[in-house]
């Protein structure tokens, strides 16, 4: 018996040592790993909550410490209040230089009240690192690609939303102060938590002329009466006081600008596009992101996380820019977006200006139209997810969230109405939805949607260019000359250059070079069967190709004098990576 026990312990130790040696997360010895989840992660995280800035920073440090060969952490700039804007670079650093890999950029939290975008960005970095050794797809993906993940690009506002008085809709802004009501004071009339319960909810007052009633099925819900029906209450807005004695309540809030109206493409001033500041690039946070993007020309795809509505949005933000999206590029977006509808039930693939609203000076257009990056913006969370069915009523009229709160949250989503003696309004009642309900996922739903949205993003990243030299042929010619013909294929659906990139020459051409041989002439093969070629007379050893289309190929030819032994074909593309092969 003792011998059996000792043998079992020895086997267990060997298994554990081997697992640690290979950096593989072992199976949980007291149960069974749930498919699709790391069994024993080095960085233990709970994805049923929303993390503040200190926790995000610690998460970054923990992930780098656990996976130094997969994750690096850097600050790309400071926020208005001086917080670091963290970016995690995730890739297999042992395979090739990261600048030689196609890059994929991810960010979340540009609107701070849209909490889950940050969590999904964090989850993505965590899942990639924790699954590298156990999931073949992830292993291959990190060998081929590099991810740049900006976890939260409005860290000041996120900290304010989590720890200060806010509603579900505040604050979309950063924390730069403004005198919103023109009285010479700044931020003097913010929300007030009247009863000190940590929630900013609605105020209501009984009124013979009111147009609202209490829903008898869900007492926390107010509904607007129709036609000649008489109401019982008037709504007075969110909890607050007339702090400065000007007869207005809550009129001078923090910020009130929109960081997603601060980008360089088709920017419009505030009187055209509400939320814009003085000029594009006013904010330190957006400037930091722009500089990072421009300094990483290998970024071929991008994903920004927002909410609400359950959408995969592509540009453009304004109808006048529709012609800038070519048919070929739209086919790429359609392929990815329509698959997303299958991956995340209840989400829809839409065009931003056409299916949502017009956005001038938005990040999505900056990425796609000034940098030629194939970009999606996901609007996270939708009422469809509550009961897995579509509601035909409007977002503001349906009672699904109240019903969901009753049967699945047991009343945790709302503050019950209670009386309060208001110094301006007199006897009122306060109550309603908590700030992290409706717009943001309930905890038990958060990880599933994080995983599904991450999977959509990883599929998008997988489809960034992958260049392969599929054939090199040599043919002896007269007078000691040799023809070397190379065929290069892009085996993914995203081209090395978008159409607007090609038109405006945003990024350099793709280079296909023959090294180690005396090149006499170089040319692009237009049609080999018909002997159609386009010669490149300048620097013939390095052929310039303006684009290698998705699932497309190009063929080039060099005429070489003398010995070709040891010659190498090298392909270098800013967004398509680097690949080389010997001439046989």
Task: For residue range 435-474, list pLDDT tens digits in order.
Answer: 999 999 999 999 999 999 999 999 999 999 999 999 999 9
CA distance 208 to 274: 36
Q: In this structure, are strands 222-224 and 212-214 parallel, antiparallel, or unpaired?
A: antiparallel
- Pull the structure tokens for residue 571: 């392909």
CB 125 within 8 A of CB 70: no
- Binned at pLDDT 50, 70 and 90, residue 348 comes out as very high
Q: What order do you get walking across the sheet with 414-422 strand by strand?
A: 222-224, 212-214, 233-238, 202-206, 426-433, 414-422
CA distances 423 to 116, 146, 187, 246, 431, Å, are 37, 57, 20, 14, 18
pLDDT in tens, 494-538: 999 999 999 999 999 999 999 999 999 999 999 999 999 999 999
* 155 pLDDT above the threshold of 50: yes
- Pull the structure tokens for residue 164: 């200060």
Positions marked catalytic: 379
Q: What is the mean pLDDT of residues 146-166?
A: 95
Angle CA 466–577–556, to nearest 5: 80
Q: What is the Cα 129 distance to its own chain's centre?
A: 18
Q: What is the pLDDT of residue 18?
A: 47
CA distance 518 to 298: 30
Q: Three-state SS string across 62-87, please?
A: HHHHHCCCCEEEEEEEECCCCCEEEE
Return the number of other C-beta atoms located less than 10 Å from residue 577's C-beta: 24
Q: Is 331 exposed, middle or buried (0-12, 13-18, 19+ CB in 10 A)?
A: exposed
CA distances 297 to 14, 49, 506, 559, Å, are 45, 35, 10, 32
Domain layout of the chain by residue ranges: 53-161+258-381+442-463, 178-253+413-435, 467-582
CA distance 454 to 122: 10
CA distance 353 to 220: 35
Q: What is the mean pLDDT of residues 419-442?
A: 95
Q: What is the pLDDT of residue 13?
A: 43
- Binned at pLDDT 50, 70 and 90, residue 26 comes out as low
User: pTM of this prediction?
Assistant: 0.93
CA distance 146 to 469: 21
Fold of 467-582: Immunoglobulin-like (2.60.40)
Angle formed by the axes of helices 136-144 and 116-131, nearest 10°: 100
CB 301 within 8 A of CB 461: yes
Angle formed by the axes of helices 443-462 and 136-144, nearest 10°: 50
CA distance 487 to 482: 17
163: enclosing H helix or E strand: helix 155-163
CA distances 70 to 66, 92, 293, 419, Å, are 9, 5, 21, 55
CATH for 53-161+258-381+442-463?
A: 3.40.630.10
């Amino acid at each position: 018996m003792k011998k059996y026990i000792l043998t079992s312990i020895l086997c267990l130790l060997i298994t554990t040592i081997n697992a640690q040696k290979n950096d593989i997360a072992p199976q949980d010895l007291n149960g069974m790993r749930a498919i699709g989840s790391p069994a024993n992660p080095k960085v233990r995280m709970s994805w049923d909550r929303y993390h503040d800035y200190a926790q995000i920073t610690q998460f970054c440090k923990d992930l780098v410490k656990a996976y130094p060969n997969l994750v690096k952490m850097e600050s790309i700039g400071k926020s208005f209040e001086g917080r670091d804007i963290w970016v995690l670079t995730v890739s297999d650093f042992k395979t090739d230089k990261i600048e030689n890999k196609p890059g994929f950029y991810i960010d979340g939290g540009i609107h701070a009240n849209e909490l889950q975008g940050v969590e999904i960005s964090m989850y993505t970095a965590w899942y990639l690192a924790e699954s590298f050794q156990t999931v073949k797809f992830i292993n291959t993906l990190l060998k081929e690609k590099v991810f740049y993940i900006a976890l939260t690009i409005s860290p000041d506002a996120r900290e304010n939303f989590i720890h200060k008085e806010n509603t579900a809709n505040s604050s979309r802004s950063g924390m730069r102060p403004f005198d919103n009501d023109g009285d010479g004071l700044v931020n003097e009339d913010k929300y007030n938590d009247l009863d000190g319960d940590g929630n900013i909810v609605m105020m209501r007052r009984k009124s013979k002329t009111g147009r609202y009633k209490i829903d008898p099925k869900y007492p926390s819900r107010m509904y607007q009466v129709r036609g000649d029906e008489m109401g019982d209450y008037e709504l007075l807005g969110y909890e607050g006081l007339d702090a400065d004695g000007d007869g207005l309540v809550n009129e001078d809030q923090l910020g009130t600008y929109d960081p997603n109206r601060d980008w360089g493409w088709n920017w419009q001033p505030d009187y055209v596009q509400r939320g814009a500041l003085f000029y594009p690039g006013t904010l330190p946070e957006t400037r930091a992101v722009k500089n990072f993007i421009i300094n990483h020309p290998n970024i071929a795809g991008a994903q920004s996380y927002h909410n609400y509505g359950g959408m995969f949005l592509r540009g453009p933000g304004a109808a006048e820019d529709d012609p800038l999206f070519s048919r070929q590029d739209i086919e790429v977006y359609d392929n990815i977006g329509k698959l997303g509808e299958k991956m995340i039930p209840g989400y829809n693939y839409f065009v931003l200006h056409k299916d949502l609203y017009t956005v001038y000076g938005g990040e999505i257009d900056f990425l796609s139209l000034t940098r030629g990056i194939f970009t999606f913006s996901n609007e996270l969370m939708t009422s469809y997810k509550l009961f897995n069915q579509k509601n035909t009523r409007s977002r503001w009229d349906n009672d699904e969230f109240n019903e969901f709160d009753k049967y699945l949250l047991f009343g945790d989503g709302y503050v019950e109405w209670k009386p309060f003696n208001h110094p301006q309004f007199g006897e009122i009642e306060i109550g309603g939805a908590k700030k992290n309900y409706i717009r943001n996922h309930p905890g038990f739903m958060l990880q599933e949607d994080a995983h599904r949205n991450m999977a959509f993003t990883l599929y998008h990243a997988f489809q960034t260019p992958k260049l392969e030299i599929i054939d090199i042929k040599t043919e002896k010619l007269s007078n000691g000359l040799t023809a070397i013909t190379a065929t290069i294929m892009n085996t993914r659906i995203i081209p090395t250059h978008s159409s607007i990139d090609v038109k405006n020459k945003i990024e350099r051409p793709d280079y296909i070079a023959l090294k180690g041989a005396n090149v006499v002439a170089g040319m692009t093969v237009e049609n080999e069967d018909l002997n159609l070629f386009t010669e490149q007379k300048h620097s013939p050893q390095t052929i310039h190709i303006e684009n290698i289309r998705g699932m497309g190929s190009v063929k080039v030819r060099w005429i070489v004098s003398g010995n070709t032994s040891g010659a190498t074909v090298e392909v270098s593309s800013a967004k398509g990576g680097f690949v080389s092969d010997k001439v046989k």
